[in-house]
Amino acid sequence: MKCTVLTVGTEILFGSIVNTNSVFISQQLQELGIDVMYHMSVGDNPVRLKEMLAHAYLDCDMVITTGGLGPTQDDLTKEMICEYFGERNIEFPEEMRKVEAFFEKSGRKMTENNRKQAFFPEHAETLANPNGTAPGFWLNKNGKIIISMPGPPSEMRPMMVNEVRPRLLAMQDAALYSRNIMTYDIGESALETELLEFIDGQTDPTLATYAGTFQCKLRITSKRKTLKEAQAAVDDMTSRVCAKIPDNIYSIDGEELPAVVLRMLKEKGLTLSACESCTGGMFAAAVTDVPGASEVFDRSLVTYTERAKMEELGVSPKTLEEFSAVSARTAEEMAEGLHRASGSDVCVSVTGYAGPTGGTEEDPVGTFYVGLYHDGRCTAQRFTTRRPTRMRVREYAVLQMFLRIYKALK
């Protein structure tokens, strides 16, 4: 099956919003084994919208649209689809009751134009929208499929996952299962080389790599007759991937590194504190982004000045003078001092040159030291950042702080 994703909305053409709908839908279709041939975006203009529809079907048998289903005069997607397919746009009484009930419940007055949202192409099947007033719809006519969803991602995404995806699977008489494998200490190209046998020429399960800033995610997907078969195929490939790169995987079910580290700490009954210099609070922010962090996370100190490092952490003036604030010794003393102050079982520290200025010949911008107190011992490790912009250095340092803890606990 070949598909065009057609997003409707003048705000897209103005560059006012980033078109994440096309990305989300394409990822879903990719998993389902449906080829996406084109992305097209058009404004709220009836003539051009109809033109685009005609063009979209030249090479494709399916078009998925988002946007233009709302109650205002600008919202014309449904009307143009009716014209293109020669369908009447008629009232669906059950949908009308739902729209009326929505307004009754919310206490707002239902204006006349809201009735528009209960009209659909006569042969369409509606797609439920529990997150808004405009339902989507699915129309199958003359060998062509059109699927129409609302524009707001908070409405479109659940509709794609809960309404569209099961129907597409049913059409293919298939079940789908996916798994995200989270890797570390390996780049995308090295990963592709290591896993070539699983990528090249594989049709099911498929393995895709997604490169983040400093981490890569692998996604293994299988489409089979039954969910059980798909799951078995994914599990089998997962084992083989794990055997191939055993020291580069921290999660086989998509769990992010901060959540993995906090879970490990919790399981071992350990508490965590941090002191940060160049990352300036980003590590703590990442920790506390995980719900329930308070069960293991005690405190974090951002000791940006030398004075704060001495006062809060007891880093010795001699160390700062002799080795400088960015040194293995300072990182160690920070972690040690933090352990003394907090009593936390695991204490992590970081000090480095985030740039744009600063750094020395031996330790240029992008260099940082991560100190770790764990099991009564304190050690520091040196890292350098490739292409060290301020944001990249800080992000990389946060990653290495989590990784040092992860490796120590593993």
- By beta-carbon proximity to a copy of itself, the closer residue of 101 and 391 is 391
What tokens appear for 157 in the block?
């995404």
Query: Is there binding between residue 26 and a copy of itself (CB under 8 A)?
Result: yes
Query: Of 350, 344, 326, nearest to 403 (Cα)?
Result: 350
Among the listed ranges 144-152, 245-253, 273-281, 331-339, the one in contact with a copy of itself (CB under 8 A) is 273-281
Task: Kindly state the smallest distance separating residue 38's Cβ from a copy of itself, in Å.
Answer: 6
Using DSSP's 3-state secondary structure scheme, residue 353 falls into: coil
Query: Is there binding between residue 379 and a copy of itself (CB under 8 A)?
Result: no
Query: Is there binding between residue 74 and a copy of itself (CB under 8 A)?
Result: no
- Quick note: the x/- pattern for a copy of itself over 310-329, rule CB under 8 A, is -xx-----------------
Choose, by CB under 8 A, the member of 8, 32, 52, 53 that binds a copy of itself. 52
Query: Is there binding between residue 300 and a copy of itself (CB under 8 A)?
Result: yes
Q: CA 379, 384, 390 angle in degrees (round to 5)?
A: 115
Query: Is there binding between residue 305 and a copy of itself (CB under 8 A)?
Result: yes
Contact 223, 203 (CB under 8 A): no
Query: Is there binding between residue 382 and a copy of itself (CB under 8 A)?
Result: no
Choose, by CB under 8 A, the member of 1, 46, 50, 51 that binds a copy of itself. 51
Please report, as residue ranges, which positions from 113 to 172 form the binding site for a copy of itself (by CB under 8 A).
none
End-to-end, the C-alpha distance of the chain in Å comes to 45
Contact 240, 220 (CB under 8 A): no
- By beta-carbon proximity to a copy of itself, the closer residue of 98 and 299 is 299
Task: Tell how strand 216-224 and strand 144-149 pair up.
Answer: unpaired
Task: Kindly state the smallest distance separating residue 350's Cβ from a copy of itself, in Å.
Answer: 12
C-alpha to C-alpha distance for 340 and 258, rounded to whole angstroms:
24
Choose, by CB under 8 A, the member of 178, 288, 324, 379 that binds a copy of itself. 288
Helix 390-409 to helix 257-267 angle (10° resolution) is: 30
Query: Is there binding between residue 13 and a copy of itself (CB under 8 A)?
Result: yes
Task: Kindly state the smallest distance separating residue 282's Cβ from a copy of itself, in Å.
Answer: 4
Query: Is there binding between residue 92 and a copy of itself (CB under 8 A)?
Result: no
Work out whether the CA dihedral 156, 161, 167, 169 comes out positive or negative. positive
- By beta-carbon proximity to a copy of itself, the closer residue of 91 and 317 is 317
Query: Is there binding between residue 281 and a copy of itself (CB under 8 A)?
Result: yes
Among the listed ranges 42-50, 63-71, 87-95, 378-386, the one in contact with a copy of itself (CB under 8 A) is 42-50
Query: Is there binding between residue 36 and a copy of itself (CB under 8 A)?
Result: yes
Among the listed ranges 11-19, 76-84, 90-98, 314-322, the one in contact with a copy of itself (CB under 8 A) is 11-19
Query: Of 324, 304, 389, 307, nearest to 354 (Cα)?
Result: 389
Please report, as residue ranges, which positions from 202 to 241 form the binding site for a copy of itself (by CB under 8 A).
208, 210
C-alpha to C-alpha distance for 285 and 282, rounded to whole angstroms:
5
# binding residues, a copy of itself (CB under 8 A)? 73
Among the listed ranges 137-145, 227-235, 363-371, 387-395, the one in contact with a copy of itself (CB under 8 A) is 387-395
Query: What would you measure as the largest C-alpha separation in the chain, in angstroms?
Result: 84
Contact 336, 378 (CB under 8 A): yes
Contact 366, 346 (CB under 8 A): no
* Residues 6+ away with beta carbon under 8 Å from 15: none
- By beta-carbon proximity to a copy of itself, the closer residue of 13 and 242 is 13
- By beta-carbon proximity to a copy of itself, the closer residue of 22 and 222 is 22
What tokens appear for 24 in the block?
């989300």
Work out whether the CA dihedral 384, 293, 155, 208 comes out positive or negative. positive
Query: Is there binding between residue 386 and a copy of itself (CB under 8 A)?
Result: no
Token look-up 């006519």 returns 141
- Quick note: the x/- pattern for a copy of itself over 329-348, rule CB under 8 A, is ------------xx------
**The residue type at 221:** T
* Residues 6+ away with beta carbon under 8 Å from 371: 328, 331, 332, 333, 334, 335, 336, 347, 348, 349, 350, 351, 378, 379, 380
Query: Is there binding between residue 368 and a copy of itself (CB under 8 A)?
Result: no
Query: Is there binding between residue 33 and a copy of itself (CB under 8 A)?
Result: no
Among the listed ranges 125-133, 189-197, 355-363, 378-386, the one in contact with a copy of itself (CB under 8 A) is 355-363
Query: Is there binding between residue 15 and a copy of itself (CB under 8 A)?
Result: yes
